[in-house]
Structure formats: C-alpha cells, structure tokens
Homo-oligomer: A and B are copies of this chain.
Amino acid sequence: MRIDVVFGGASLTTAEVAGRVVAVIDVLRASTSIAVALANGARAVIPVETPDEVVMRAKALARNDVLLAGERKMMPIPGFDLGNSPIEFTPAMVDGKTILLTTTNGTPAIAGTGGARDVIIASYVNYTAVLTMLRAALRGGADITLVCAGRDRQFALEDAGCAGRFVANVSKRLVGITMNDAAQTCAMVDRRYGDQIVKLFEASEHGRALRDAGFDADLMACAAIDSHPVIPLYQDRQITKLGPDRER
C-alpha cells in the first residue's frame, strides 16, 4: 500500500488518483469551509469553477434552497450570499441548504480527481474523522493520495502540514506502507509544528495574507482541530456528508 502526497491540485495526473482513495486538502480555507458547512447541516456543497457558473447553476434551483458562496483573491464575490470564511457557514445560515461554492485553489483541486475510487475533503477541523476513514481504507488494501491544493499553483505550508499529520498517523501500527518523497517531507512539517496550528499559519504566506486582510477569526476557526467531525464525500459532482444524516 502507498501513501503519496501531491503538491498542486490543478495538475493531477490520472496515475496519481486512478483507483485510489483521494483526500483533497485546502486548509485555508475551502476544505475547512466545506467541513463546517456539512457539519452545520448543509445538504450538499457543489464545487463550481467560476462565479458566472455559480450564478447560472443557481437559476436551476429554488432560491430558498441554495446559497451562492466563494471568493476571488480571498474576498467575497459581490452579490453572493457567503464568502469563503468558515465562520460564515453557521447552522442558521446553511441548515438544509445546497451551497454552490467557487474558490481559487480548492475547486480546481477537487475537479482534478476524476478516476479516484473515493474523494474526500480534509482539513484540521475534521482531521480525526477523515483519519479514521483513511486508516480503514489503507487496512483494506487501498492506496491513498493526499492532494495539497496549495495557493495559486504554489506549494502552501499549511496544506503540507495538514497532509503530514495524516501521513504521520495513518500508517501507525501498519507495516509495508510506502510513501513518496512529498509525503516524507510533509511529515517533517507536521513534526516541526505539531498541534501549534496557529503558529503554522503565522509562518505560511497564505496565513499571513489572510491575517493582513483581516481574516484572523478565520485562522482561529481553521486551526480548531476536530471541531467539525464530518467526512465530506465528493461524488456525482457534489460533496455530501458520509454516513447517516445528523439528527434534526
């Protein structure tokens, strides 16, 4: 069995995902927002490439059932219901809704996973839930690919750190696991920062850019390990919560 990490989601090759269990990581902030939305009762999150496409697809849905969400250059898109801040995706806002989401890095990374056996969305807020699922897959003989979405096609420290946390723990007490060079390196980033996720964000370029733009509360939310324990599953072009629906 293998655990591989790939940097830069937009340029995935078929060999990197075919038949594998793939986790897409865009910690700041798409992965986090998706987990928070589903944990807070959203029916589904649909990743969409462009803002125009969000508007177009929203027309096919009842206005009361749908929320338009996303960012460009970190900022909310004019006319949309939500930006890409996880703290906006409250139960009052998202319960029962279908969210059309477009983001700069997360959306292309998710779209690039065609051919995978399963695609899940991973972040710190749903870390242990996803870890459990990945361990089960690995025990079952599956190969795993962790896709670090990165930022504007570039390597992002926070995604590498989160991937490294999975790498370090997914194969514990399992033998015969092979990992690629990127996976080994991510484990070094995880070892460097451990549970100090806020420090990791302070070191990262994207984290600093978000802080400078006033998104401090988002950084706190994205660093809250296991605060939203869901497994977001991407299937038939939409992301829904794996497992039985939460009690209403």
CB-contact partner of A185 in B153, B180, B185, B206, under 8 A: B185
Q: Quick one: which of A127-181 are within 8 Å of B by CB? A: 153-157, 160, 180-181
Q: How many copies, total?
A: 2
Question: Which residue of B is nearest A13, CB measured?
Answer: B153
- Contact (Cβ within 8 A) A180 B154: yes
9 shortest A-B CB distances, which residue pairs? Answer: A157-B181, A155-B182, A188-B188, A181-B205, A155-B181, A181-B204, A156-B181, A188-B192, A7-B155
Question: Could you list some 23 contacts between A and B, CB below 8 A?
Answer: A5-B155, A6-B154, A7-B7, A7-B155, A8-B8, A11-B11, A11-B153, A13-B153, A154-B180, A154-B181, A155-B180, A155-B181, A155-B185, A157-B181, A157-B185, A181-B203, A181-B205, A181-B206, A184-B203, A185-B185, A188-B188, A188-B189, A188-B192
